[in-house]
Chain A
């Protein structure tokens, strides 16, 4: 299958592994510890686990799973707001599937649905607009979430609604931007990171220039990576080569999809419809300046936060939650005290266990349940005292 099989070639994987091992062994020797590379994007985490790449890499390199999964960083307070809107009898609340299971302080959207709220799963914001068209006597709200990858389709949907004069449609906007995320990670105390795999599909929209500060100010290499397993391996190799040469640059491994300057029509739509919020709350990471977007005043008619009174109370994460530390890569999922026990895919305490791209869900599903860790992690667990 074109664009798929070529990037899953096991022979090339073997060859790359050898080259990776040569450099990472040398670097780890110099550093006195493994080389730490973070993949920001949840889609990368998913690929890494699905193909068993984490097991294939040598011990001298460790992948740290970053906070690039928009469902994973949904704070409980925002879920409560969604539930409140969904429980209004005139509302049809539409959302992507994963978001339905994220726990709020009292219930998730899925539980609200079971209790009678009209919550429906959609695959695209256009599906939500279609529902608004078909149900003129109901208010259709779309739970807009995602990084810059999904912002263009949301923006286009708002523009379409405006063009068609559809008034019974609005967004509950939880779109977030990637740069403050990465900055929050880089600024975390106690974090050891040598380089990044950059988010491939976000970059497809925003281009690569926005990552320059990571190289210039924080002196870390960034390789924007694709989502097939060879993309990941090649990108890791490219990061290692930079580290070996003492360089810190932004490189684009995913150049078959990512244009250097991003996608102009997508950026145009986003700029027309959205503006940055002053600050926005993230699960596990607290409040981050200029990290969320909202609809501009001109499109306030499509803003569910304006249409419906929303309590917007920040709810603290449960005490046992270590989501923040996992999101920043400070600990691995299986080092969280409640991983696999109180927090598991059936009864998730935090969003990382809910989303199919969350590090915890990936660990649980593809990798290591608490009882069956490999020796390396087992040693670390002993140290943490879990």
Chain B
């Protein structure tokens, strides 16, 4: 047998072609036997397919020399996704699981490369639902330029988890010239956000149905590695980036203020909000600064680079409505975030304790 046909024979042996016949996920599908292999082959591998995953070893393996060509540090992160409902306007738990982890890498200046995907599935889930989620992950991964290279599947008894929980860990490489940190922010640095705030938090709250409101608000869930590269090209001195997820923009601002021991002031007039989200917040008595975002960043850039940064962000589809909302103060109180209200007053923007609750009266 010549070299080529031997390689092809090897490849054929490695490509398993299990087919899932069941319409419903049962405990057997997490049992490690043939049912699980059929699930993995037919649902996960067929959607995620890439050279690393397809080897179906217990671990994905990477040439260090390939990685070292891209930068001088490895970045690693993990997140678990338990959102309810699992499908919501603008996304689903799968899309979220990829975007969240990709963004956690990208905000550190890393090029996101590889993700894991560990799933805990409640017995009784429809296979079609799972396929939808997995396909969504595959599509999002492709858009983000990452590969899902290894995973794990568990099935638990009914009631032991809420439909599906997903954990993704991710690795990426940071370029040598990027030194971001929440403790690097200094007087005069400008604070930018890449668009409308609160969309995700409002969309999910609405989707849960408790409020009985009708709205067209959609989650802003998006992979932002491309936007961040655009930012770095225009503003290589960027000091800090973080995605404003749980706790909203307020949480990130407070983290910066504390870490860098600086005072921050933002302008309420400049905080970008969609009219629908504003209305949603008004009727429920919610403060949009605390609503979660899944496609929005808080970016701290040196004053000299702010204009260029803003222009670059606005040129990107995920940054069209970018705004400069405030700055690090020269004489601010360390650790304190102020907002100059549209009304002409000033108030403190503190961290929330627990969840934000709608008004009662």
Contacts and interface: CB of A to CB of B under 8 A. Distances in A.
Contact of B361 (A146, A366, A372): A146
A51 B359 CA distance: 17
A182 to B, nearest CB: 17
B276 to A, nearest CB: 11
Interface string A79-97: 0000000000000000011
Contact of A10 (B342, B350, B361): B342
B353 A51 contact: no
Contact of A372 (B279, B282, B287, B333): B333
Interface string A143-181: 000110110000000000000000000000000000000
Interface in B332-361: 333, 336, 341-348, 350, 353-355, 357-361
Contacts of B350: 364-366
A98 to B, nearest CB: 6
A196 interface: no
B350 to A, nearest CB: 5
Nearest to A346: B353
Nearest to A48: B345
Given A97-B357, A149-B361, A366-B350, A127 B210 contact: yes
B282 A1 contact: yes
Contacts of B358: 97, 123
A8 B360 CA distance: 22
B344 A366 contact: no
B348 A367 contact: yes
B347 A49 contact: yes
Interface residues of B, number: 26
A372 B350 CA distance: 14
A101 B344 contact: no
Nearest to B344: A10
Given A10-B342, A51-B343, A346-B353, A4 B361 contact: no
B278 A1 contact: yes
Contacts of B346: 52, 55
Given A1-B275, A127-B210, A372-B333, A56 B345 contact: yes
Question: Which among A1, A49, A123 has the greatest number of chain B C-beta atoms within 10 A?
Answer: A123
Interface residues of A, number: 35
Contacts of A43: 359, 361
Secondary structure call for the A interface: helix
Contacts of B359: 43, 356
A6 to B, nearest CB: 12
A236 B345 CA distance: 16
Nearest to B287: A50
Contacts of B360: 96, 98, 146, 150
A27 interface: no
Given A98-B357, A123-B210, A372-B333, A4 B344 contact: no
A323 to B, nearest CB: 18
Interface string B186-212: 000000000000000000000000110
Contact of B348 (A149, A201, A345, A366): A366
Interface in A343-369: 345-346, 356, 364-367
A4 B345 contact: no
Interface in A26-61: 43, 49-53, 55-56
A14 interface: yes
A229 B279 CA distance: 17
A381 interface: no
Nearest to B269: A10
A366 B354 contact: no
A356 B357 contact: yes
A301 interface: no
Contacts of B282: 1, 4
B347 A52 contact: yes
Contact of A51 (B275, B333, B345): B345
Q: Which A-B residue pairs are the 5 nearest by beta carbons?
A: A52-B345, A97-B357, A149-B361, A345-B353, A52-B347
24 contacts: A8-B342, A13-B344, A14-B344, A43-B361, A49-B347, A51-B343, A51-B345, A52-B344, A52-B346, A53-B343, A55-B346, A55-B347, A97-B355, A98-B360, A123-B358, A147-B361, A150-B360, A345-B353, A365-B350, A366-B348, A366-B350, A367-B348, A372-B333, A372-B336
Interface of B: 210-211, 275, 278-279, 282, 287, 333, 336, 341-348, 350, 353-355, 357-361
Given A14-B344, A43-B359, A150-B361, 5 more contacts: A97-B355, A98-B360, A121-B357, A147-B361, A372-B336
